[in-house]
Structure 1
Amino acid sequence: MTYVEGFVVAVPTANKEAYRKHAADAAPLFREFGATRMVECWGDDVPDGKINDFKGAVKAKDDETVVFSWFEYPDKATRDAANEKIMSDPRMKEMGATMPFDGKRMIFGGFAVLLDEGPGSAMGYADGYLVPVSAANKQAYRTLAEKMAPLFLEFGATRVVECWADDVPTGEVTDFARAVHSTGDEIAVFSWVEWPDKAARVAGWAKMMADNRMQGESEPAPFDGKRMIYGGFAPIVEA
């Protein structure tokens, strides 16, 4: 897997089952078009932020839940071809006519994989992130990710993925750049950590925070942590 299509969506909480069915019905088509994996995760532990957060990213209302999802492709060319088929296939047009969410507030884009570590065995929970990173700090961010990934895996995570913005459009209402309040040459990194279940995620984070290797970093972070968006999500579709 070298390319990812990432999505963040606000879905009326009452439409959870309708959304799950909509995504599950679409999954075989995306696999037919070339996706190797499709994951849809329902917001479970999504905190409010002081500056920005997942809810603000998609202008979620009080009665809506944030969905964090991604499609995995073997390369960008396959993803581009899939998107062309999606736009022209009559089956997708029919599904698009009955979407159980406001598509105008969905944010989406294509991302090149910077790091993909771990066996990716059974996933029962995911941490999702959007991170504002300057283009000038791309290698520094990669270096930090390469340092952190083994710790996540040591403490129970099964996979760590970091993706660099590549084909991320500007939206009329919402988009990834506005989600992280991008400035200058900043882009939004789309990343996630897979865990066997929520209990493993809670235990893993407790160990991470207590580990001496997490303390006393001498180098400043290559991004503004105050504008990093994060949250915990429970998978509802994985195909």
Structure 2
Amino acid sequence: MTYIDCFLTPVPRANRAQYEKLAAISSEVVREYGALRVVESWLDEGGSDASTYHADSARQSAESYGTMMAAAGTKKDETLVMSWIEWADKRSRDEGMEKVMSDPRMQFADMEPVFDGSRLIAAGFIPMLDHSNNN
């Protein structure tokens, strides 16, 4: 069964280009060590709010719902990046991430920080439903 690493990362809006470069490096390395898929998503700040995900009979005012930005603790100058990495299984993930974290390309100490890594929210997930319309 596949395994998913999921991340919510508050990122200063001004750092988007730098984040995209970091994400491209990370994606290359992670896929080299076994990841099946890497997705990085920059928040559509003008997009749908939580109220649009509820049927009319259950919908409340938009203000009554929490937001992803609030959950991640973003600051005024920040937006949110949601990322996930798909692995074949948890064992592949654990073995792959051990190699990823020791790879010299993933050591960014010589770079100006793009985001505050201590505020990264991360967790592993076991899919319980996986439907696709892909042919």
Deviation at 1:119, TM superposition (A): 3.6
CA change 1:49–1:93 in 2 (3 A) is farther
Question: Given the alignment of the two structures, is residue 116 of structure 1 paired with residue 134 of structure 2, yes or no?
Answer: no
Assess if the C-alpha contact under 8 Å between 1:22 and 1:95 holds in 2. no
Which residue number in structure 2 is paired with residue 11 of structure 1?
Answer: 11
Question: Given the alignment of the two structures, is residue 101 of structure 1 paired with residue 115 of structure 2, yes or no?
Answer: yes
By relative contact order (CA 8 Å, sep 6+), the higher-ranking structure is: 2
In 2, the alpha carbon distance for the partners of 1:49 and 1:72 equals 33
Assess if the C-alpha contact under 8 Å between 1:46 and 1:54 holds in 2. no
Deviates more, 1:88-97 or 1:14-23: 88-97
Which residue number in structure 1 is paired with residue 96 of structure 2?
Answer: 82
In 1, the alpha carbon distance for the partners of 2:65 and 2:27 equals 34
Which residue number in structure 2 is paired with residue 34 of structure 1?
Answer: 34
Q: SS at the partner of 1:38?
A: strand
TM-score, normalised to structure 2's length? 0.79
Deviation at 1:27, TM superposition (A): 1.1
- Aligned amino acid, residue 114 of structure 2: P
In 2, the alpha carbon distance for the partners of 1:55 and 1:6 equals 15
In structure 2, the gaps of 5 or more residues are 50-61
In 1, the alpha carbon distance for the partners of 2:134 and 2:7 equals 20
- Aligned amino acid, residue 107 of structure 2: K
Question: Given the alignment of the two structures, is residue 72 of structure 1 paired with residue 86 of structure 2, yes or no?
Answer: yes
In 1, the alpha carbon distance for the partners of 2:63 and 2:110 equals 32
Q: SS at the partner of 1:115?
A: coil
In 2, the alpha carbon distance for the partners of 1:19 and 1:2 equals 27
Q: Aligned residues, how many?
A: 121
Tell me the alpha carbon deviations over residues 160-181 of structure 1, each in whole angstroms, 9 at most, x when there is no partner. Answer: xxxxxxxxxxxxxxxxxxxxxx
RMSD over aligned CA atoms reads 2.2
Which residue number in structure 2 is paired with residue 92 of structure 1?
Answer: 106
In 1, the alpha carbon distance for the partners of 2:104 and 2:116 equals 21
Deviation at 1:49, TM superposition (A): 5.3
Deviation at 1:58, TM superposition (A): 1.6
Assess if the C-alpha contact under 8 Å between 2:30 and 2:97 holds in 1. no
In percent, how many aligned pairs have the same letter? 42
